[in-house]
Every structure is written in C-alpha cells, then in structure tokens.
Structure 1
Amino acid sequence: MTMMRLRREDPRVVGAFRLHRRLGAGGMGVVYLGSDRRGQRVALKVIRPELAEDQEFRSRFAREVSAARRIRGGCTARLVAADLDAPRPWFATQYVPGPSLHDRVQEEGPLSAAETAAIGAALAEGLVAVHEAGVVHRDLKPSNILLSPKGPRIIDFGIAWSSGASTLTNVGTAVGSPGFLAPEQVRGQGVTPATDVFSLGATLAYSALGDSPFGQGSSEVMLYRVVHEEPQLHGVPAALAPLVRSCLAKSPVERPSTLQLSLRLKEIASREARGVGHRPAARPPRPRREAGQGESTRPARAPQDSRPTRQSASARPSAAGTGRPAAARPEPARRPAAAPRRRVNRSLLRQRLFVFVTVTLLVALGIAAAQGCQGPI
C-alpha cells in the first residue's frame, strides 16, 4: 500500500493513536497509518467534515460501527477502536500489510484461474461472516482487498450499511465505485448480501481480465452499462466464466449466495491447482509402470521366441493347414527349452566318441605291437 507524508492540515494524533502517514483518501474521508502506545499499527479513517455535519449519516455510521464490531472471521480487517461522538467521527481497523488486489493486477497483470478462484473463495468466506453480522459492505472492489501474507483481507467498511438500507446518501447520488456497483445500488433500491455478490463477481472478472467487465468511461456511462448491458467476460478462464456470469446477474435473486460461491470457488481452485501441478508427473508414470511390468514378463518369452526361428517357420504351415496347429504348437514351445540341452549333449557325445576312438586305437596299437614282439621269438 502506497504511503504519503502527512499534510499540513492533517492531524497528528487521533484518540489514542499517533498518525504517521497517509494511506489514501476517498469520498468518505482520509485513511492514515497510526499506532498506539504498544506499537500496534492501525488504519485509521477520519470522516470528511461535510459528512460529519449530517446527523442522519452519524446515526447510520454509529449503527454500522456497532454491527462491524460483531464481524468475526479472518478475511476482514478487525475493527480496533472508534469515536462516533468526535467532531469528525473516526474508526480504526487492524493494519494489513500487502498490496491491494488492484495494485497487484496493475503491476503484474491478470491472475491465473487458480489464483483468482483461491482469492475469491477466501473473500466469499469473509463475506459470509460479514453478512451473518447483518452488514453489507456495498463497496467491494479490487482497491478494498489487500493481499496480506496470510491471505486476502476485506477493508474499508466505512460506507457499509445494514441489510435493506438505502444506497443513497443524497437523492440521486449512489455510494460506491462505478463498474463494481450492483444494479440495485444504481437504482437506489435496498441493498442485500446479493449486492456484495455482484461486486465480488466484478472483482473476480477484474482479477482475470485486468479490467472491469463493464469497461472504462465516465461514471454515468459505467452506471448505465451496469444496469442495461451484459458484462464482457471474453478472456475469463472457462473454469470461472459461468460462475462469474451468475454473480453478475441483473436480478439479485438469480445470484448465488456467498456460501454457495465460497464452496464452488474452493472446488475450482483445488481442481485448477491439481491440473497445473500434476500435468508433467501424475499421469505419465502410470503408463511407464505398466510398460515396465509388461517388459518384465516378456524377457522370459523372448529367448523362446527368438532362438527357435525354425519353430516359427514350421508353425506357419501347420497354421495354414487344417485345424490341428493348436496341438502342434505346444511342442514347439517345449523344444526351445530342450534345444540348448541337446546341443550340449551332442558336444559331450562327440568328445566321448573322440576319446573312445583314441583309446581304442591306442589299445589296438598296443596289442599289435605286443604280438609283433612275441612272433619272432
């Protein structure tokens, strides 16, 4: 999050917090980085003077701060302190380090389907806790989502109202950000949890596209597109496009609930992560193992099939014959195993025959010599 030096008109101390830097400014007021005596850092928002003079705003703001205290969950910035009776009301939330989703996309480009789904699942889960507390955020957008090391965090509940409250601060003035507002907000109708679902759908589309699904333009043009035109989702990953489109339905009753959205996004994130991580290693080893097993059984047969080439030649005529080759084939299968033994026996027989003949000749010659010696005597 970008930090700026304090300006001359900025306060230095608010409540028990010392202010150090400016974190940003908007239609509701200015946000500062502050810390208490223990060193705990907070994001402290001071309401604009003109809003502070509006008693209706003060009463609504008091109700929303009271409701925000009831929000439980790790996906929101926890409310730390607030002063509703100060000349300029303020509230402080837990400071969340990390860039906003808007800055992340602007600097690094659109996110992958797995990243978008994982962030969306965490945000939907956070909205479940918000809505259970009876609060509707009303201004969920990429700049109000911080990507902390522990996961995304929803911030800036400054304009959040209770369920069913009007979306207009003044007649004809919609509160929120064009391109991420729901149609019912533009029309000035009551807000419901489905209002935040629409904003979350536009935020997911922004994460995957790098731009609002309703394009760019003036506030009037953007508000008209939100109410009357369909979102442009060309480029959104196929795994996410149907779900994002359902979130951006014009009618609130046609949008999924935050719980349904959380569960569905978790499934998509898990499936996309498995698909990316197992493509090179998960499936290939299985065929290789099967091939290895096949090769381990074939070597025993290979010598039998490769050595007796005469077998295959003799087997073919029999196969082309009548129908008795099946009875003849078992014999060729046995011959390869016995063939090496016969070759060994023949060599032994030759050696023995040679020895026998040699010995016989020597004996014959010995007998002849002996007889020859005895004859003359």
Structure 2
Amino acid sequence: MARIDTRSEMDVTVDILRGELERLFSLDDLTALSRDLLGLDPKDVGGEAAKASFARALAERCLDADRVDALVDCILFRKKSVDPRVYDAVSRWGKETLEPGKAIGPFTLKETAREGELAFVGQAERTGEPAEPGTRYMMKILKRASHGDRRAVQRFLTANRLASAISHPGIAPKLTAGELPDGTAYVAYHYVDGETLDERLKRKGPSSFAELRPMLKSILEALAALHDAGLVHGDLKLDHVVVTPDDRAVLVDFGGDKLRRSTLPTSASSGGKGGGLFGGGPGVAPEVLRGRAADARSDLYALGAMVYELSTGKPVFEADTLADLALAHLT
C-alpha cells in the first residue's frame, strides 16, 4: 500500500529508534520490552548477542511489522528523557505518499492531484494490457486506513464495478476497479475534461438556480439511471461531480458509503465547520448517520445539500465538531 518507501527514510527512522533504544535500555530491558510489551520473541527478532545489534534488529522488525507506533509508546512509557526526534518517528513513518511514476496495476500514475482522508486521487495512463497510450485516466487509490475492513473494501470495489455496467453520459466512463497484490484497492476511469463542483464554487462563488438548472438536470438524470438499476452513488458531494464546459455533469467516486461505515474518524479535524462527515460530504443523510445503508433517498438528501451550498456558498449546517454536525443533520 502507498507509504514512504525510500531507503533513506527507512534508515533515518531506524537510526533514531535504534539510538534511543541503545542509549536508554540495557540488553535485558530490551529483550523484556520486545517479549512482554511488543509480543515479539527476542529469538525471532535476532541480534541478541549485543545491545547494539538487538536494538537495530528490534527497530527494523517494528518497521516491517507495523509496530513503530507501539515501539514509540513503549519508549515514552518507560523513559522520561527521550530524544525529541522519537516523537517525529511515528509521523515520519506513518505518512503515506504516492509519487508520480508509480505503477498501479495496469496504470502508471502521472500526477497526484489531491490527498484526501481515505485516498489519493491523481491522473494516470494505462500502460498495461490493454494499453491506451495518450489516454488520460483519473485514479483513486485507497490509503491503508481504508483497508481495515476487507469486506467493506470489497463492497466498495463491487459498487464501482456495478456502476461501470451502466452506460450513461452522466456516469464516469470506462470505469474499472481492482487490487494490487498487497491488497491496495484502486478505481480508475477516463479523464473527464472539466472541473468539480467544489472547484467551480471556489472559482465562481454562489450561483442562481437558473445558472444551476442545466447542470442539476444532468445530475438527476445520472442518478435516475443509477437508481433505475437498483444502485446508489452513496457518497454524493461537490468534489464527486465533474462539470464539463457545456454544463454536463458526470458522477464519479462511487461507493464511498461502503468505506465510511468502517472508517469513522473521531476528531473534528476530519470534518467540522460543515466539512465532510465520516469521510463523506456535508450532506450525509440522517438514516446513514444512524447506521443504515444508503439508498436513493440518501442520494437525493445529499443533492439537496449540494444545491444549498452551490446557491449560498455555505454548507447546510456548520459546527465545530463532528458530533455537533451529525446532530444538526439528525434533528
């Protein structure tokens, strides 16, 4: 899955942790910490003959086994005088990156347009079979945090595959979904020349209903095609609708509701002030907030919230915390 994977970054992290382990603990303390607190058998870790070799082996093992955060917790719990760089080790290693040029299934990422809470979004080209030289795609590559519930990930992929079966000018064209050998899930579709409604709102400001009418008509037609097929978008919001220069709307990024129900953030930094609720938009329907599956009515609720924001420049509700924002929708 996408993450910092350069050798220099790995070496820096290992060196910081190794240095503090060697400085602060005895060999006996380190083996006890490994066995009792991290659940790692010292014999499996290796390097038991000397403190320096075991400290390095433990740091490297924690890096490989996604235990860096746990190792830092142990260091901070056991010792008070800790190198401040240890606090940076978690953020340095935990940060995911996705650089242009990376191969993702049959696609090659050309540029990363934006990074969201649950995924990276960027332009790509299909270089694998069947190759399409020069044809641009948009890709959504899920982050590690999105993969905690594998059943949810599979439902997300299936939602996109089902949507790909609908031939409609308002549905993302050439939609495809897949997984890498390490389990990383991705979705790709032919690039749509235009701007998202979020970008349009930032560029133009609020619009009159007369201005919005042609675009809203095409959104409703696309939703009708989905709903007639027994499907829902599930994550309708401003940046999941691309508007072409002739005001035709194209729906993208389907199935986000499948992921949202298994990846609920707890801090206001993930939403609040009218931002997205639980990885969704500011128009998450009350029944979805209560844990029910999204349906056609949920899509229409989200569309109503979008129309309000496009007309006024402000979300339907504003709040300082996710809890307050959810309560506003529920009441």
For residue 252 of structure 2, what is the amino acid of its counterpart?
I
Q: Helix, strand or coil: the match of 2:210?
A: helix
Q: 2:202 maps to what in 1?
A: 106
Q: 1:120 maps to what in 2?
A: 216
Q: 2:121 maps to what in 1?
A: 31
Q: Is the 8 A contact 2:236 2:281 kept in 1?
A: no
CA distance in 1, matches of 2:321, 2:308: 20
CA distance in 1, matches of 2:181, 2:166: 23
For residue 208 of structure 2, what is the amino acid of its counterpart?
S
CA distance in 1, matches of 2:152, 2:181: 14
Root-mean-square deviation (Å): 2.5
CA distance in 1, matches of 2:322, 2:306: 17
Tell me, yes or no, if structure 1 residue 185 matches structure 2 residue 304: no
Tell me, yes or no, if structure 1 residue 59 matches structure 2 residue 59: no
CA distance in 2, matches of 1:167, 1:193: 17
In the TM superposition, residue 99 of structure 1 has moved relative to its aligned partner by: 2.0
CA distance in 2, matches of 1:28, 1:167: 9
Q: Helix, strand or coil: the match of 2:152?
A: helix
Identity %: 25
Task: Show CA shifts across 1:72-97 (max 9, x none).
Answer: 21112124332235421212112112
For residue 213 of structure 1, what is the amino acid of its counterpart?
V
In the TM superposition, residue 181 of structure 1 has moved relative to its aligned partner by: 0.6
For residue 109 of structure 1, what is the amino acid of its counterpart?
G
Paired residues for 1:268-307 under 5 Å: none
Q: 1:78 maps to what in 2?
A: 173
For residue 63 of structure 1, what is the amino acid of its counterpart?
T
Q: Is the 8 A contact 1:178 1:222 kept in 2?
A: no
In the TM superposition, residue 205 of structure 1 has moved relative to its aligned partner by: 0.9
CA distance in 1, matches of 2:107, 2:262: 29
For residue 185 of structure 1, what is the amino acid of its counterpart?
V
Q: Unaligned 5+ residue runs, structure 1?
A: 1-6, 229-377
Q: Is the 8 A contact 1:96 1:146 kept in 2?
A: yes
CA distance in 2, matches of 1:16, 1:180: 34
Task: Show CA shifts across 1:85-121 (max 9, x none).
Answer: 5421212112112222122222222112212222211
Q: Is the 8 A contact 1:67 1:134 kept in 2?
A: no
Given the alignment, which residue of 238, 241, 250 partners 1:153? 250
Paired residues for 1:5-24 under 5 Å: 9-10=98-99, 12-24=102-114
Matched positions, count:
218
In the TM superposition, residue 218 of structure 1 has moved relative to its aligned partner by: 2.7
Q: Unaligned 5+ residue runs, structure 2?
A: 1-95, 127-131, 267-276
Q: Is the 8 A contact 2:146 2:263 kept in 1?
A: no
CA distance in 2, matches of 1:181, 1:197: 10
Output the TM-score relative to the length of structure 1. Answer: 0.53
For residue 109 of structure 2, what is the amino acid of its counterpart?
L
Output the TM-score relative to the length of structure 2. Answer: 0.59
Q: 1:134 maps to what in 2?
A: 230
CA distance in 2, matches of 1:44, 1:59: 17
Change in 2 beyond 3 A, CA 1:187/1:65: same
CA distance in 2, matches of 1:218, 1:172: 11
Higher helix share: 1
Tell me, yes or no, if structure 1 residue 69 matches structure 2 residue 180: no
Tell me, yes or no, if structure 1 residue 92 matches structure 2 residue 188: yes
Q: Is the 8 A contact 1:179 1:223 kept in 2?
A: no
